[in-house]
A and B are shown apart, each in its own frame.
Chain A
Amino acid sequence: MAYNILVVDDSETMRAVIAKSIGLAGVALGSLFQAANGAEGIEVLRREWVDLVLADINMPVLNGVGMVTQMKADPGMGDIPVLIVSSEGSATRLQALKDQGVKGFLRKPFTPEELKKAMESVLGAHHE
Protein backbone atom coordinates (compact mmCIF):
# COMPACT_ATOMS: atom_id res chain seq x y z
CA MET A 1 0.00 0.00 0.00
CA ALA A 2 1.33 3.42 -0.94
CA TYR A 3 0.62 6.18 1.54
CA ASN A 4 -0.34 9.76 0.85
CA ILE A 5 1.56 11.87 3.36
CA LEU A 6 1.15 15.52 4.38
CA VAL A 7 4.17 17.30 5.86
CA VAL A 8 3.33 20.49 7.78
CA ASP A 9 6.30 22.60 8.84
CA ASP A 10 7.03 26.30 8.41
CA SER A 11 10.64 25.53 7.48
CA GLU A 12 10.99 24.72 3.80
CA THR A 13 14.37 23.20 4.64
CA MET A 14 12.85 20.86 7.20
CA ARG A 15 10.06 19.86 4.82
CA ALA A 16 12.75 18.95 2.30
CA VAL A 17 14.64 16.96 4.94
CA ILE A 18 11.51 15.07 5.92
CA ALA A 19 10.64 14.39 2.28
CA LYS A 20 14.14 13.10 1.64
CA SER A 21 14.06 11.01 4.82
CA ILE A 22 10.78 9.44 3.77
CA GLY A 23 12.41 8.46 0.49
CA LEU A 24 15.51 7.09 2.22
CA ALA A 25 13.35 5.18 4.68
CA GLY A 26 11.82 3.21 1.82
CA VAL A 27 8.26 4.03 2.83
CA ALA A 28 5.81 3.27 0.02
CA LEU A 29 4.81 6.77 -0.98
CA GLY A 30 1.81 7.74 -3.05
CA SER A 31 1.60 11.52 -2.99
CA LEU A 32 3.57 13.86 -0.76
CA PHE A 33 1.79 17.09 0.14
CA GLN A 34 3.41 20.01 1.93
CA ALA A 35 2.06 22.90 3.95
CA ALA A 36 3.83 25.77 5.71
CA ASN A 37 1.46 26.03 8.68
CA GLY A 38 -1.54 24.38 10.29
CA ALA A 39 -4.10 26.43 8.36
CA GLU A 40 -2.54 25.42 5.03
CA GLY A 41 -2.45 21.85 6.30
CA ILE A 42 -6.17 21.89 7.05
CA GLU A 43 -6.81 23.19 3.52
CA VAL A 44 -4.85 20.29 2.04
CA LEU A 45 -6.78 17.82 4.19
CA ARG A 46 -10.06 19.28 2.92
CA ARG A 47 -9.21 18.62 -0.72
CA GLU A 48 -6.86 15.60 -0.72
CA TRP A 49 -6.91 12.05 0.59
CA VAL A 50 -4.16 11.82 3.20
CA ASP A 51 -3.13 8.69 5.12
CA LEU A 52 -0.67 10.30 7.52
CA VAL A 53 0.11 13.81 8.75
CA LEU A 54 3.58 14.78 9.93
CA ALA A 55 3.28 18.10 11.75
CA ASP A 56 5.55 20.51 13.56
CA ILE A 57 4.25 22.38 16.61
CA ASN A 58 5.79 25.85 16.46
CA MET A 59 4.40 27.45 13.29
CA PRO A 60 2.88 30.81 12.40
CA VAL A 61 -0.81 31.38 11.59
CA LEU A 62 -1.97 28.08 13.12
CA ASN A 63 0.45 25.95 15.12
CA GLY A 64 0.49 22.17 15.37
CA VAL A 65 -1.62 22.07 18.52
CA GLY A 66 -4.31 24.20 16.88
CA MET A 67 -4.19 22.11 13.73
CA VAL A 68 -4.69 18.87 15.68
CA THR A 69 -7.58 20.47 17.58
CA GLN A 70 -9.28 21.46 14.31
CA MET A 71 -8.64 18.04 12.79
CA LYS A 72 -10.12 16.16 15.72
CA ALA A 73 -13.21 18.38 15.68
CA ASP A 74 -13.83 17.62 12.01
CA PRO A 75 -15.46 14.24 11.29
CA GLY A 76 -13.86 14.21 7.85
CA MET A 77 -10.30 14.32 9.13
CA GLY A 78 -10.48 13.34 12.79
CA ASP A 79 -9.31 9.78 12.13
CA ILE A 80 -6.22 10.66 10.10
CA PRO A 81 -3.18 9.62 12.17
CA VAL A 82 -0.83 12.43 13.18
CA LEU A 83 2.87 12.13 13.92
CA ILE A 84 4.29 15.23 15.60
CA VAL A 85 7.82 16.03 14.37
CA SER A 86 9.12 18.81 16.57
CA SER A 87 11.86 20.01 18.87
CA GLU A 88 9.27 20.05 21.66
CA GLY A 89 10.58 18.51 24.85
CA SER A 90 7.67 19.05 27.23
CA ALA A 91 6.17 15.75 28.35
CA THR A 92 3.19 17.75 29.60
CA ARG A 93 2.43 19.12 26.13
CA LEU A 94 3.04 15.78 24.46
CA GLN A 95 0.65 14.06 26.86
CA ALA A 96 -1.97 16.71 26.07
CA LEU A 97 -1.50 16.04 22.35
CA LYS A 98 -1.70 12.30 22.96
CA ASP A 99 -4.94 12.85 24.86
CA GLN A 100 -6.21 14.70 21.78
CA GLY A 101 -5.48 11.63 19.67
CA VAL A 102 -2.00 12.24 18.31
CA LYS A 103 -0.49 8.85 17.52
CA GLY A 104 3.22 9.49 17.73
CA PHE A 105 6.02 11.91 18.42
CA LEU A 106 9.48 12.29 16.94
CA ARG A 107 11.85 14.85 18.35
CA LYS A 108 14.10 16.86 16.08
CA PRO A 109 16.86 16.29 15.20
CA PHE A 110 16.18 12.80 13.86
CA THR A 111 17.71 10.28 11.49
CA PRO A 112 15.86 8.73 8.52
CA GLU A 113 15.81 5.45 10.46
CA GLU A 114 14.14 7.13 13.43
CA LEU A 115 11.57 8.71 11.12
CA LYS A 116 10.88 5.36 9.49
CA LYS A 117 10.35 3.67 12.87
CA ALA A 118 8.04 6.43 14.04
CA MET A 119 6.00 6.34 10.83
CA GLU A 120 5.73 2.55 10.91
CA SER A 121 4.67 2.69 14.54
CA VAL A 122 1.93 5.22 13.81
CA LEU A 123 0.70 3.55 10.64
CA GLY A 124 0.90 0.10 12.22
CA ALA A 125 -1.09 1.17 15.23
CA HIS A 126 -3.64 2.87 12.99
CA HIS A 127 -4.25 -0.28 10.97
CA GLU A 128 -4.41 -2.70 13.93
Chain B
Amino acid sequence: MNEETRTRIGNVLFDVLEKQAFLFGDPGEAPDLASVDGYLAASVTFAGAAAGRVSLAVPASMAAELASNILGCEPDDPAAAAAAEDACREILNIVCGHVLTELYGSTPVFDLGLLESGHLSADQAPDWTASEGGMALSVEGSPVLLRVEIPGGIPPGTPT
Protein backbone atom coordinates (compact mmCIF):
# COMPACT_ATOMS: atom_id res chain seq x y z
CA MET B 1 0.00 0.00 0.00
CA ASN B 2 1.48 3.33 -0.99
CA GLU B 3 1.59 6.31 1.35
CA GLU B 4 -1.14 8.21 -0.46
CA THR B 5 -3.56 5.29 -0.11
CA ARG B 6 -2.50 4.77 3.50
CA THR B 7 -3.29 8.41 4.22
CA ARG B 8 -6.68 8.20 2.52
CA ILE B 9 -7.63 5.08 4.49
CA GLY B 10 -6.38 6.63 7.71
CA ASN B 11 -8.47 9.71 7.04
CA VAL B 12 -11.55 7.51 6.66
CA LEU B 13 -11.00 6.18 10.18
CA PHE B 14 -10.38 9.66 11.56
CA ASP B 15 -13.58 10.97 9.94
CA VAL B 16 -15.74 8.14 11.26
CA LEU B 17 -14.34 8.33 14.80
CA GLU B 18 -14.75 12.09 14.86
CA LYS B 19 -18.31 12.13 13.57
CA GLN B 20 -19.68 9.04 15.32
CA ALA B 21 -17.67 8.93 18.54
CA PHE B 22 -16.27 12.45 19.00
CA LEU B 23 -12.75 11.02 19.17
CA PHE B 24 -10.14 13.05 17.36
CA GLY B 25 -7.09 11.74 15.56
CA ASP B 26 -3.76 13.37 14.92
CA PRO B 27 -2.26 12.30 11.58
CA GLY B 28 1.01 13.98 12.47
CA GLU B 29 1.55 12.12 15.73
CA ALA B 30 3.35 8.78 15.89
CA PRO B 31 1.31 6.38 18.03
CA ASP B 32 3.04 4.80 21.00
CA LEU B 33 2.26 1.08 20.84
CA ALA B 34 4.17 0.46 24.06
CA SER B 35 1.61 2.48 26.00
CA VAL B 36 -1.12 -0.11 25.46
CA ASP B 37 -1.67 -3.33 27.43
CA GLY B 38 -4.14 -4.88 25.01
CA TYR B 39 -6.77 -4.18 22.40
CA LEU B 40 -10.41 -4.87 21.67
CA ALA B 41 -10.45 -5.98 18.05
CA ALA B 42 -13.12 -6.47 15.42
CA SER B 43 -13.03 -7.70 11.86
CA VAL B 44 -15.35 -8.12 8.91
CA THR B 45 -14.93 -9.78 5.54
CA PHE B 46 -16.24 -8.41 2.27
CA ALA B 47 -16.84 -9.87 -1.16
CA GLY B 48 -17.81 -8.41 -4.49
CA ALA B 49 -15.59 -6.55 -6.96
CA ALA B 50 -12.80 -7.66 -4.65
CA ALA B 51 -12.69 -9.80 -1.53
CA GLY B 52 -10.86 -9.24 1.70
CA ARG B 53 -11.06 -8.29 5.32
CA VAL B 54 -10.99 -5.07 7.31
CA SER B 55 -9.97 -5.16 10.97
CA LEU B 56 -9.90 -2.56 13.71
CA ALA B 57 -8.30 -2.66 17.15
CA VAL B 58 -8.76 -0.04 19.83
CA PRO B 59 -6.98 -0.03 23.18
CA ALA B 60 -9.09 -1.78 25.79
CA SER B 61 -8.76 1.36 27.89
CA MET B 62 -10.34 3.41 25.08
CA ALA B 63 -13.18 1.02 24.26
CA ALA B 64 -15.48 2.19 27.04
CA GLU B 65 -14.82 5.82 26.12
CA LEU B 66 -15.67 4.98 22.52
CA ALA B 67 -18.97 3.44 23.60
CA SER B 68 -19.80 6.20 26.06
CA ASN B 69 -19.21 8.88 23.44
CA ILE B 70 -21.43 7.09 20.97
CA LEU B 71 -24.17 6.51 23.52
CA GLY B 72 -23.84 9.89 25.18
CA CYS B 73 -23.24 8.56 28.68
CA GLU B 74 -20.35 8.78 31.14
CA PRO B 75 -17.33 6.50 30.55
CA ASP B 76 -17.82 4.91 33.97
CA ASP B 77 -21.48 4.18 33.24
CA PRO B 78 -21.93 0.39 33.26
CA ALA B 79 -23.81 0.75 29.98
CA ALA B 80 -20.62 1.98 28.31
CA ALA B 81 -18.59 -1.01 29.41
CA ALA B 82 -21.38 -3.35 28.34
CA ALA B 83 -21.55 -1.72 24.91
CA ALA B 84 -17.80 -1.49 24.26
CA GLU B 85 -17.53 -4.57 22.07
CA ASP B 86 -20.67 -3.79 20.08
CA ALA B 87 -19.55 -0.18 19.64
CA CYS B 88 -16.18 -1.32 18.33
CA ARG B 89 -17.88 -3.65 15.84
CA GLU B 90 -20.22 -0.90 14.68
CA ILE B 91 -17.40 1.57 14.15
CA LEU B 92 -15.63 -1.07 12.08
CA ASN B 93 -18.81 -1.69 10.09
CA ILE B 94 -18.99 2.01 9.21
CA VAL B 95 -15.28 2.26 8.49
CA CYS B 96 -15.41 -0.79 6.21
CA GLY B 97 -18.24 0.70 4.12
CA HIS B 98 -16.34 3.94 3.68
CA VAL B 99 -12.99 2.28 3.00
CA LEU B 100 -14.55 0.24 0.19
CA THR B 101 -16.00 3.37 -1.37
CA GLU B 102 -12.66 5.12 -0.95
CA LEU B 103 -10.82 2.29 -2.71
CA TYR B 104 -13.31 1.22 -5.37
CA GLY B 105 -15.74 4.10 -5.84
CA SER B 106 -19.52 3.99 -5.61
CA THR B 107 -20.35 1.68 -8.51
CA PRO B 108 -19.35 -1.82 -7.27
CA VAL B 109 -21.57 -3.73 -4.87
CA PHE B 110 -19.96 -5.43 -1.89
CA ASP B 111 -21.49 -7.87 0.55
CA LEU B 112 -20.15 -7.74 4.07
CA GLY B 113 -19.80 -10.80 6.26
CA LEU B 114 -20.77 -10.98 9.90
CA LEU B 115 -18.84 -8.79 12.28
CA GLU B 116 -16.52 -10.62 14.62
CA SER B 117 -14.73 -9.35 17.68
CA GLY B 118 -12.14 -10.49 20.18
CA HIS B 119 -8.98 -9.40 21.91
CA LEU B 120 -5.55 -8.58 20.55
CA SER B 121 -2.55 -8.71 22.85
CA ALA B 122 -0.08 -5.85 22.92
CA ASP B 123 2.69 -8.01 21.49
CA GLN B 124 0.57 -8.80 18.41
CA ALA B 125 0.21 -5.10 17.53
CA PRO B 126 3.58 -4.70 15.76
CA ASP B 127 2.68 -7.54 13.38
CA TRP B 128 -0.55 -5.74 12.54
CA THR B 129 1.12 -2.49 11.71
CA ALA B 130 3.95 -4.16 9.78
CA SER B 131 1.59 -6.08 7.49
CA GLU B 132 0.83 -4.83 3.95
CA GLY B 133 -2.47 -3.12 4.76
CA GLY B 134 -1.83 -2.43 8.42
CA MET B 135 -1.39 0.89 10.14
CA ALA B 136 -1.37 2.46 13.58
CA LEU B 137 -2.97 5.85 14.01
CA SER B 138 -2.93 8.22 16.93
CA VAL B 139 -6.40 8.95 18.31
CA GLU B 140 -6.71 11.05 21.44
CA GLY B 141 -3.06 10.19 22.12
CA SER B 142 -3.58 6.43 21.95
CA PRO B 143 -2.82 4.02 19.12
CA VAL B 144 -5.75 2.70 17.09
CA LEU B 145 -4.91 -0.08 14.64
CA LEU B 146 -6.52 -0.58 11.26
CA ARG B 147 -5.76 -3.30 8.75
CA VAL B 148 -7.10 -3.77 5.22
CA GLU B 149 -6.32 -7.17 3.72
CA ILE B 150 -7.02 -7.71 0.03
CA PRO B 151 -5.28 -10.77 -1.44
CA GLY B 152 -5.33 -9.27 -4.93
CA GLY B 153 -3.69 -6.11 -3.67
CA ILE B 154 -4.99 -2.77 -2.45
CA PRO B 155 -5.80 -0.44 -5.38
CA PRO B 156 -3.13 2.26 -5.39
CA GLY B 157 -5.04 5.25 -6.74
CA THR B 158 -8.30 7.10 -6.37
CA PRO B 159 -11.21 5.32 -8.10
CA THR B 160 -12.47 6.93 -11.27
Residues of A within 8 A of B (CB): 10-14, 16-17, 20, 58, 60, 86-93, 107-111
Contacts and interface: CB of A to CB of B under 8 A. Distances in A.
B70 interface: yes
What 9 pairs between A and B have smallest CB-CB spacing? A87-B97, A89-B101, A109-B20, A109-B19, A11-B90, A91-B106, A87-B94, A58-B112, A13-B86
Given A91-B106, A108-B20, 19 more contacts: A11-B93, A13-B70, A13-B71, A16-B83, A87-B94, A87-B95, A87-B97, A89-B101, A89-B106, A90-B101, A90-B110, A92-B106, A92-B107, A92-B109, A93-B109, A109-B16, A109-B19, A109-B20, A111-B19
Nearest to A108: B94
Contact of B97 (A17, A108, A110, A111): A108
Contacts of A16: 71, 83
Nearest to B110: A90
Contacts of B90: 11, 13-14
A89 B19 contact: no
B78 to A, nearest CB: 14
Nearest to A59: B114
Interface string B57-85: 00000000001001110000000000100
A92 B20 CA distance: 25
Contacts of A86: 97
A90 B90 CA distance: 19
A93 B107 CA distance: 8
B152 interface: no
Contacts of A93: 109
A10 B114 CA distance: 10
B144 interface: no
Nearest to B96: A87
B147 interface: no
Contacts of A87: 93-98
Contacts of A110: 19
Given A13-B83, A58-B112, A89 B98 contact: yes
Interface string B111-128: 110110000000000000
